[in-house]
Chain A
């Protein structure tokens, strides 16, 4: 696979501790991808829009947690597609080219190919794919168009604090570990995520999903059922041919 961890797979490293919640990344993403604004209501949090959307490929999740020094700790964490190595969305998609892997390891999308069946979100461990008015799937594509041309993604380029960094996956992870981040979220999950997170705290504190997995039925289908349907077809056709040659067609009693 083009994206195995030994080649130079590109990644976004998110360091939530460095994030100041300015949401420049959200704006940069909208700007580069020409996504419209979404009308939302103030519901008592800075988190806006409240969730990923067809026109919001990345959001900052804001959460308040208890803390020893201050009354509360206000946490910011950037959320987007994880660009999984073993990507459930790609496994299940029935349409060639609608979701594809780029040379840099991004899980990119092509809305013109998507048939709008909405199977991909069922297989995504992170509930990432969204669907526009046209029914087509959309999500963060790691700015595949920019990174293929040697640029960094719009969101990481605009981030003023280094909370979002783009680069060689192995190098980013090594550097984060050297800087004292004990937990790299996504280093091993699902074959290694393409969006990795550097934490000093428990990832759970930031609302990161523990032990993300593709639904078991999808894994079963992908590993066994799908190949079995091709093998099964070959098998019965071969069995019929062997029967025809070895035993032969039905004959009437008197010809026996």
Chain B
């Protein structure tokens, strides 16, 4: 068997699933509220209980998002010349012939995606609490309703792309979200700067 290396800690993997699971259920119930999807409502035991599930999953999502910041936020703010070059070749996603510059643990696309989720996540959480808990304040309600739905749009556009890139578009990547491991040989090719930094090149 090929030699493996740990890319994500157990805590990172577990928290990622809590974040992803709560987010997917929140998006599903959110779509059900928006478009009156009665079959989805029935799965949650009716709209009234779906509202409670949605609100409390929001709390779970919120805590999980905060924990994820400990894991990813520092990385997500660091960019170098290779990252700029990465954008020039669109990360190699639009053509397999271009030369993709050497990357660290995360490419700038992933880092910007994470920042978008943090930004939209904070917005959707704050506005969600606004709609939930400040029902009698008209200004808060109207603003929250608008912000909640704008942030939702960002999730709707970003999350499926993230899922596609983490599964079908990059075979093998999904395993990292199962046990945190990837083959060392692959890591040397895809993340040379990270492997160099930890002295395993």
Contact = CB atoms under 8 A, between A and B. Distances in A.
Interface in A221-256: 221, 225-226, 228-230, 232-233, 235-237, 239-240, 243-244, 247-253, 256
Interface in A89-145: 92, 94-96, 113, 115, 117-119, 122
A215 interface: yes
B170 A230 contact: no
A96 B36 contact: yes
A117 B34 contact: no
B156 A232 contact: yes
B34 A95 contact: no
A239 B153 CA distance: 16
Nearest to A249: B169
Contacts of B94: 247
A138 B182 CA distance: 58
B135 A118 contact: yes
B23 to A, nearest CB: 14
Nearest to A215: B142
A250 B170 contact: yes
Q: Is the interface of B mostly helix, strand, loop or mixed?
A: helix
Interface residues of A, number: 37
Contacts of A122: 138, 141-142, 145
Contact of B31 (A225, A229, A235, A250): A229
B16 to A, nearest CB: 20
Contacts of A113: 47
A218 interface: yes
B149 A247 contact: no
Count class of interface residues, chain B: 35 or more
Given A117-B135, A256-B96, A218 B189 contact: no
B1 interface: no
A147 B97 CA distance: 71
A248 to B, nearest CB: 7
B153 A118 contact: no
B170 A217 contact: no
A239 B92 CA distance: 16
Given A94-B34, A95-B47, A118-B141, A243 B146 contact: no
B145 A118 contact: no
Contacts of A96: 36, 38, 41, 47
Given A228-B153, A229-B149, A247-B94, 19 more contacts: A94-B51, A113-B47, A115-B47, A118-B135, A118-B136, A119-B131, A119-B141, A122-B145, A217-B143, A217-B146, A232-B156, A233-B160, A236-B156, A240-B161, A243-B93, A243-B164, A247-B95, A251-B96, A256-B96
24 contacts: A95-B33, A118-B136, A119-B141, A122-B138, A217-B146, A220-B146, A221-B145, A225-B153, A229-B152, A230-B31, A233-B31, A239-B161, A240-B164, A240-B168, A244-B164, A244-B169, A248-B96, A250-B92, A250-B93, A250-B169, A251-B96, A252-B189, A253-B189, A256-B96
